[in-house]
Amino acid sequence: MDEHSEQQQYDVVVVGSGGGALTGAALAARAGLSVVVVEKTALLGGTSAYSGGACWLPGSQVQQRAGLPDSTEGARAYLSAILDDPTGPATAAKLDAFLTHAPELVAALEDDPDLDFEWLPFPEYYDAPGRVPMGRSIQPVSIKRDALPAPVAELVRPPVELDRAGAPGRRTLTGGQALIARLAVVALREGAHVLTRHTMTELLVEDDRAVGVHCTTPDGAPVELLARRGVLIAAGGFEGNAALRARHDVPGEVAWSMAPRGTNLGEPMTAAVELSAATDFSALGWFCPGLEQPDGGGSFTLGFRSGVMLDAAGSRYANESLPYDRFGRAMAAHPGAIPSWFVFDSREGGRLPGIAMPEGDPAEHLAAGTWVQSDTLAGLASATGLPAAALEASVRRYNGFCATGVDEDFGRGADEYDTFFTGGEGPNKALTPVDVPPYYAARFVLSDLGTKGGLLTDDAGRVLREDGSSIAGLYAASNSTASMFGSVYPGPGAPLGSAMVFASLAVRDMLSSPGAAGVA
Ligand SMILES: Cc1cc2nc3c(=O)[nH]c(=O)nc-3n(C[C@H](O)[C@H](O)[C@H](O)COP(=O)(O)OP(=O)(O)OC[C@H]3O[C@@H](n4cnc5c(N)ncnc54)[C@H](O)[C@@H]3O)c2cc1C
């Protein structure tokens, strides 16, 4: 790894090391450009390394190999049906670029001996025209750590449950770690430099053009990295920055967010704004229910197999089996839902009947009061402070729905997503009763997988000014940008898929642009 403090010159400076950033770095390096990746932490991958590695990249050769009824036009129909404003000026051109380029990107990546993908059966998040049964997401093929070059094996951020406990990663890298590892292998193989522990703080500007970045090292040493072709900002959102969250009305809290601790404070976005970049801060994140942890953190939770989520009045307020972002938005919109209490029973031996990353130790939860336990529902009510009559009525009514197989209040189990994670034996697999004492309640907050608002970019990933012109030399992708999907999370892998496509388009644009005269 380079650790020089003098000025260095490259064709491309990539800020961040998530899935979008490393896609850009790998493709640029493979195209013969000199590349540096700037990462503020000691590890590569950010939230992308925590992820499942699902990539929503429709219409590619991977879906074709799997024999799926997927196509670019099917994906277009699906997005047209679900997006807030698919034909609006902010979305239409990007939508087209995304759909057109996704299969090209997958083909280009799979052209590389170190990059392989496979279909990931995981239902899309809306029942809408164009939806593919069991989804159209793809994921990188897992890889053994000992098959990786040493720098990559050492640098990939471990899965969230290990990373938050300070533990190293596993011997086999799956999901997001496989994505980060494979992209890093390509980038390094093609000569890209990686500067970890370098925080980008400012953009270097000449004649209104971004010509590089200013970074600092942990000991405060300044480093200037010049970019002949362009700077690609793909450095997460601002989920880790309480002041920016408050300024842009993003519900939830830093501690409940899933980004690695201390990362994604939004410095690169702020630097671009100082250079007159336009933004759209949507007050949104990629939301999810967050199991509150004894240390005050939140854990991304999905796939509830039983149990009910109750608000402060002791009432259900949404289908608990909704795709997590839709449940999160319901939580954010419903008064008295933060925090909520998730009431479940002992049928899974006192473990949460859902997938929480990380779940934590039930005994520690009980000791900390983030979970409570009682032999009776009335006891649960007094331990949580919820009104006993309402809590008992909610559970009784839900158990009645479990018997008939129809959730008359919220339609739980009516969609294929609802039953993807469940194995219930009643008439509706998503409706398993709460009737095995002792009972538990776990406190839930609103978590997110990153914020969704940020820099406005065009269909080539160029950062725009308010007047619609692009800032020469400046590109952005990932959660550093305003999501093309608006308020919607179309399906598994939408954050990574869109980040990868626009990072790739940015590199394509850099390759066709003349570059900066001043640093040529
Ligand atoms: C458990 C879990 C599972 C998920 N599963 C999926 C999934 O399967 N598919 C999917 O699409 N999404 C998934 N997500 C969401 C997805 O991981 C994130 O939304 C996405 O990876 C964010 O990518 P990013 O590049 O914007 O940010 P990150 O991946 O967080 O990368 C940003 C990087 O930039 C660095 N950085 C920040 N500021 C600076 C700076 N000033 N200078 C230098 N470096 C900086 C950070 O340290 C970080 O390493 C999941 C999230 C979680 C938590």
Per-residue model confidence as pLDDT tens digits over 46-72? 999 999 999 999 999 999 999 999 999
Per-residue model confidence as pLDDT tens digits over 151-162? 999 999 999 999
Which protein residue has the closest C-alpha to ligand 1 atom 13? 51
CA 260 to ligand 1: nearest atom:
30
Which protein residue has the closest C-alpha to ligand 1 atom 52? 51
By three-state DSSP, how is residue 501 classified? helix
Which protein residue has the closest C-alpha to ligand 1 atom 3? 51
Per-residue model confidence as pLDDT tens digits over 88-117? 877 899 999 999 999 999 999 999 999 999
Ligand 1 centroid – CA 470 distance (Å): 25
pLDDT score at 194: 98
pLDDT score at 6: 60
CA 44 to ligand 1: nearest atom:
49
Question: Domains in the chain, please, with CATH?
Answer: 8-281+452-519 (3.50.50.60), 287-448 (3.90.700.10)
For ligand 1, pick from 22, 51, 137 the residue to mutate: most ligand atoms within 8 Å of CB.
51
Ligand 1 centroid – CA 236 distance (Å): 5
Pocket around ligand 1 at a 6 A CB cut-off: 15-21, 38-41, 46-48, 50-54, 160, 199-200, 234-236, 258-259, 263-264, 267-268, 286, 300, 357, 449-450, 478-479, 492-496, 499
Which protein residue has the closest C-alpha to ligand 1 atom 11? 493
Cα 229 from Cα 511, distance rounded (Å): 8
pTM summary value? 0.97
CA 43 to ligand 1: nearest atom:
49
Per-residue model confidence as pLDDT tens digits over 268-320? 999 999 999 999 988 999 999 999 999 999 999 999 999 999 999 999 999 99
Hey, how many other C-beta atoms are within 10 angstroms of the C-beta on 111?
A: 9
Q: Inform me whether the pLDDT recorded for 353 exceeds 80.
A: yes
For ligand 1, pick from 47, 199, 258 the residue to mutate: most ligand atoms within 8 Å of CB.
47
CA 263 to ligand 1: nearest atom:
47
DSSP H or E segment with residue 266: none
Q: Inform me whether the pLDDT recorded for 44 exceeds 70.
A: yes
Cα 86 from Cα 516, distance rounded (Å): 35
15 - beta bridge partners? 38, 233
pLDDT score at 208: 93
CA 199 to ligand 1: nearest atom:
42
Average pLDDT score, the chain: 96
- 168-196: string of b/e by CB count within 10 Å (b at 16+)? ebeeebbbbbbbbbbbbbbbbbbebbbbb
Cα 254 from Cα 355, distance rounded (Å): 21
455 - beta bridge partners? 279, 481
Ligand 1 centroid – CA 48 distance (Å): 4
Q: Terminus-to-terminus CA distance in the chain, angstroms?
A: 24
